[in-house]
Amino acid sequence: MLDLLCLPCAGASATMYWRWRRWLPRWVNLVPVELPGRGARLDEPYAADFDGLVDQLCDELSERPPARSWALLGHSMGALLACGVARTLRVRGRALPQAIFVSGSAAPARRDPLRFVGKDDDGTLTADLHRQGGTPPEVFDSPELLRITLDTLAADYRVCASFAHRPCAPLPLTVHALGGLSDDIATEDVEAWQCEAAGGFSVRWFEGRHFFIREHEQQVVQHIVRCLQPLHEDSESLARA
């Protein structure tokens, strides 16, 4: 069994990944990682900044079974968090995932520092939701759901804005990057994730905009499973040895 821990994008809950279970093989255990302020953690305050959220996630991950095989995946803000978690676990001397999947995100060194300037009012945040796609229509039709989504998105944008890139040695694991061909993130900014990987790198492009992972959900999951297959086979071989 291999655990696939999934971090959500800005403004979303980790429940965005629940639908993936229908396409995953039995040897992949889907583990949506909920962030404070949403879903089952709705009563908790939002994270104040990127580094604090990464530290909190690493503290929570310390409860994982140490010998279990696992991979970490995140979309957009979740991709940046996945990299931050892997970096911090390495500093702490803790077990790293066998691979990380970074979807819909520029590499840390290629982040636009002006991306979140002035995006702190309802009108701008709502326009961002429409521009990126991926938000269910019922959210816009419900004042209550829209209020929760906008508050969460604003808090997550503050987390993203607080991110400061610190160059460090590549991670000793495989990085799999996923991108949308019609996303506004430049191709070279996605491919720059290769600089974070010392254990192997791949990039896979899908039709669609920023939320290609929803537009082509089944194809995305199938690609992830193909990337995980060698890790599963290695784990099975070790278990039989």
Q: What is the CATH number of the domain that holds 31?
A: 3.40.50.1820
Q: How far apart are CA 178 and CA 6, in angstroms?
A: 14
Which residue, 170, 179, 2, 169, is CA-closest to 76? 179
What pLDDT, on a 0 to 100 scale, did the predictor assign at position 241?
59
What pLDDT, on a 0 to 100 scale, did the predictor assign at position 130?
87
Sign of CA dihedral 132, 159, 34, 46: negative
120 or 150: which carries more pLDDT confidence? 150
What pLDDT, on a 0 to 100 scale, did the predictor assign at position 66?
67
What pLDDT, on a 0 to 100 scale, did the predictor assign at position 131?
84
Q: Residue 219 is part of which domain span?
A: 2-240
Which residue, 37, 25, 36, is CA-closest to 1? 25
Provide the domain count of the chain.
Answer: 1
What pLDDT, on a 0 to 100 scale, did the predictor assign at position 117?
81
Q: How much of the chain, in percent, has pLDDT values that exceed 70?
A: 98
Residue 240 confidence class, pLDDT cut points 50, 70, 90: low
Q: Is the pLDDT of residue 103 over 90?
A: yes
Sign of CA dihedral 127, 128, 131, 134: negative
Tens digit of pLDDT for each residue in 177-194?
A: 999 999 999 999 999 999
Q: Is the pLDDT of residue 91 over 80?
A: yes
For 104, residues 6+ apart whose C-beta sits below 8 A from its C-beta are 9, 75, 76, 79, 178, 179, 180, 183, 185, 210, 211, 212, 213
What pLDDT, on a 0 to 100 scale, did the predictor assign at position 113?
76
Q: How much of the chain, in percent, has pLDDT values that exceed 90?
A: 79
Q: How far apart are CA 39 and CA 18, in angstroms?
A: 12
Helix axis angle, 143-161 to 50-61, nearest 10°? 100
Tens digit of pLDDT for each residue in 17-53?
A: 999 999 999 999 999 999 999 989 999 999 999 999 9
Mean pLDDT, rounded, for 216-233: 95
Q: Is the pLDDT of residue 208 over 70?
A: yes
Tens digit of pLDDT for each residue in 126-168?
A: 998 888 877 888 888 898 999 999 999 999 999 999 999 999 9
List of E strands, the chain: 2-7, 28-32, 69-75, 99-103, 174-180, 201-206
Tens digit of pLDDT for each residue in 45-82?
A: 999 999 999 999 999 998 777 667 999 999 999 999 99
Within 20-165, where are the H helices? 50-61, 77-92, 122-132, 137-141, 143-161
